[in-house]
Structure 1
Amino acid sequence: MHTVWKGSISFGLVNIPVKLHAATEDRDIKLRQLHKKCKSPIKYKKTCENCNEEVTKDDIVMAYEYAPDKFIELDEEELEKLRKDQEGKAVDIINFVQLEEIDPIYFDRSYYLSPGDGGGKAYSLLRQSLADSGKIGLAKIMIRSKEKLAVIRPYQDALIMETLHYPDEVRAIQEVPNIPEGADLSKKEMDTATLLINQLTEAFEPEKYTDDYRTALMELIQEKVSKEGGVEAKQADNVVDLMKALEESIKKTKPKKTPATGRKKTPAQERKKA
């Protein structure tokens, strides 16, 4: 399993070298865009609207738009220094909380934690202590140049870390339009709704649920490949015809003939004149 981060977790005087591994993966079926005419994949290029030209990585600088159409440039060395200052820190568990106290809206991504070299015993100590106490650790971590709030909790026989959104990243519920403040619901309506909920209540078994759309889409793709055989993208012809290029160069560099100022006399005309 690919390691996405290496570091250590500390709580109190205990320091645990750990490695971070993505716990989930995107299984969506990726569709490509093709040019309808030649069936070649569409590529996107970075362009400057002002200069109307394509730009490369070396032509790009980072900036923050602090006001409409007003930017402050940030030097790559400045950004790199900030990243190194934060990445050099161990992940300190700030405090311990109850999992039930955190609303699911705050959860972002999940990562498995594995012990680094020599960290097996301390890793087991933290895992077992969290399991026995029923608490989870709240910490901060720097991942891919972003400081994230995270929780560390036992998961089966391992530790799992789940990054959280900061409170200012969660939009206020007041921004949602047309939410009814109250409704005149009868007792009969409430009893019927409660009965329906109770009838549909069962233990959560994630294995029972599948992505029906993804399954159907994959079946459609396989069926079309079997029947139609698919299309092959045309490769761009980047091979230069050397002979043609040389001939064109000769034509462009060949000096132009200057027009004659007069006709040259023949020997017979010269004798007749004498």
Structure 2
Amino acid sequence: MHTMWKGTISFGLVNIPVKMHAATENKDVKLRQLHKECQSPIKYEKSCPVCDRPIENDEIVKAYEYAKNKFVVLDEEDLKALQKEQEDKAVEIVDFVQLEEIDPIYFEKSYYLSPNEGGAKAYGLLRNALKDTGKIGIAKMIIRSKGQLAVIRVYENTLVVETIHYPDEVRDVKDVPNVPDEVETEKKELDTAKMLIDQLTTEFDATKYKDEYRTALLDLIEQKKNNDESTATATEKPAPEAATNLMDALQASLDRAKQEKPKPKQPKKKTKTTAKKKKTGS
């Protein structure tokens, strides 16, 4: 399993060297966009609308837009220094709480933690302590240049980091439009709804839930591929024709250069008056 990050987790005076690994993966079926006429993949190029030309990566800088078309440009060296300063800090557990106290709306992404060299004993200590107390740790850390609030808990026999949103990242529920306040419900309707919930209540088993759309889409792709339906081969861009004769190419370039070169200005002809004045002066 690929290691995404190495560091230490600390609580009190205990430091645990750990490695972090992605606990989940995105299995969405990615579809490419093709040009309908020639079945070639569409390219997306970075360009400047003012200079009207493509832009290379080394020409791009990062900036924060503090007002409409007003930017503060951030130097890459400053950003790297700030990131390094934060990443060098240990992941510090600042509080221990009950998992049930955190609403699921705060949870973001999961990562597995494994002990790094020399960290097995301290890793086991934290794991056992969390198991016995039924608590989870609240920690602060840096992941991919972003400050994260995180939960450290035990999943089966492994420590897991769950990144969670900061409170100001969760929108105020009062801003949701058209939510009714109290709604009168008929007792018979409510009792029937409760009975239905009871009938559908079971123990959670994650393996019983499948992504039916993804499965159907992959089946459709496989069917079309096997039947040669709607298959497409991208048209390669034709290479420029090579010059059959080097001398012909050089001559053509010279002729074009002569055509594009501005003609030298001709000197003005002397008028009879000017010539007469010079003769008189002599």
Between the aligned partners of 2:171 and 2:245, the Cα distance in structure 1 is: 62
Between the aligned partners of 2:141 and 2:240, the Cα distance in structure 1 is: 49
Q: Is there any run of 5+ residues in structure 2 with no aligned partner, and where?
A: 260-282
Secondary structure (helix, strand or coil) at the match of 1:243 reads coil
Q: Are 2:243 and 2:249, in contact at CA under 8 Å, matched by a contact in 1?
A: no
Q: Shift of residue 52 of structure 1?
A: 1.6
RMSD of Structure 2 on Structure 1 (CA): 1.5
* 1:200-239 correspondence to structure 2 within 5 Å: 200-228=200-228, 230-238=231-239
Which residue of 1 is the match for residue 184 of structure 2? 184
Alpha carbons of structure 1 residues 253 and 148: separation in structure 2 relative to 1, 3 Å: same
Between the aligned partners of 2:38 and 2:203, the Cα distance in structure 1 is: 52
Between the aligned partners of 1:234 and 1:200, the Cα distance in structure 2 is: 54
- Is residue 10 from structure 1 mapped to residue 10 from structure 2 by the alignment? yes
Between the aligned partners of 2:46 and 2:241, the Cα distance in structure 1 is: 26
After superposition, the C-alpha distances for 1:47-89 in whole angstroms (9 at most, x for unaligned) are 1112221111111111000011110100001111110110000
**Number of aligned positions between the proteins:** 256
Between the aligned partners of 2:192 and 2:156, the Cα distance in structure 1 is: 38
One-letter amino acid matched to 2:151: V
Secondary structure (helix, strand or coil) at the match of 2:227 reads helix
Which residue of 2 is the match for residue 61 of structure 1? 61
One-letter amino acid matched to 2:253: K
Between the aligned partners of 1:73 and 1:118, the Cα distance in structure 2 is: 43
Larger mean CA deviation between 198-207 and 48-57 belongs to 48-57
Between the aligned partners of 2:121 and 2:240, the Cα distance in structure 1 is: 60
Alpha carbons of structure 1 residues 220 and 245: separation in structure 2 relative to 1, 3 Å: farther
After superposition, the C-alpha distances for 1:11-47 in whole angstroms (9 at most, x for unaligned) are 1111100000000000111100011111111110011
Between the aligned partners of 2:245 and 2:82, the Cα distance in structure 1 is: 54
Between the aligned partners of 1:114 and 1:129, the Cα distance in structure 2 is: 16
After superposition, the C-alpha distances for 1:170-225 in whole angstroms (9 at most, x for unaligned) are 11112211111121112111111111111110000000010000010000000000
Alpha carbons of structure 1 residues 62 and 216: separation in structure 2 relative to 1, 3 Å: same
Larger mean CA deviation between 245-254 and 56-65 belongs to 245-254
One-letter amino acid matched to 1:154: V
TM-score when normalising by structure 2: 0.87
Between the two proteins, what is the percent identity of the paired residues? 56
Between the aligned partners of 1:42 and 1:52, the Cα distance in structure 2 is: 20
Which residue of 2 is the match for residue 86 of structure 1? 86
Which residue of 2 is the match for residue 160 of structure 1? 160
After superposition, the C-alpha distances for 1:134-193 in whole angstroms (9 at most, x for unaligned) are 000000111110010000001111101100011111111122111111211121111111
Q: Shift of residue 237 of structure 1?
A: 3.2
Q: Is there any run of 5+ residues in structure 1 with no aligned partner, and where?
A: 257-274
One-letter amino acid matched to 1:214: R
- Is residue 75 from structure 1 mapped to residue 75 from structure 2 by the alignment? yes
Q: Shift of residue 110 of structure 1?
A: 0.1
Between the aligned partners of 1:231 and 1:117, the Cα distance in structure 2 is: 50
Which residue of 2 is the match for residue 263 of structure 1? none
Which residue of 2 is the match for residue 97 of structure 1? 97
Between the aligned partners of 1:32 and 1:201, the Cα distance in structure 2 is: 41
Q: Shift of residue 240 of structure 1?
A: 5.7
Alpha carbons of structure 1 residues 228 and 132: separation in structure 2 relative to 1, 3 Å: same
TM-score when normalising by structure 1: 0.90
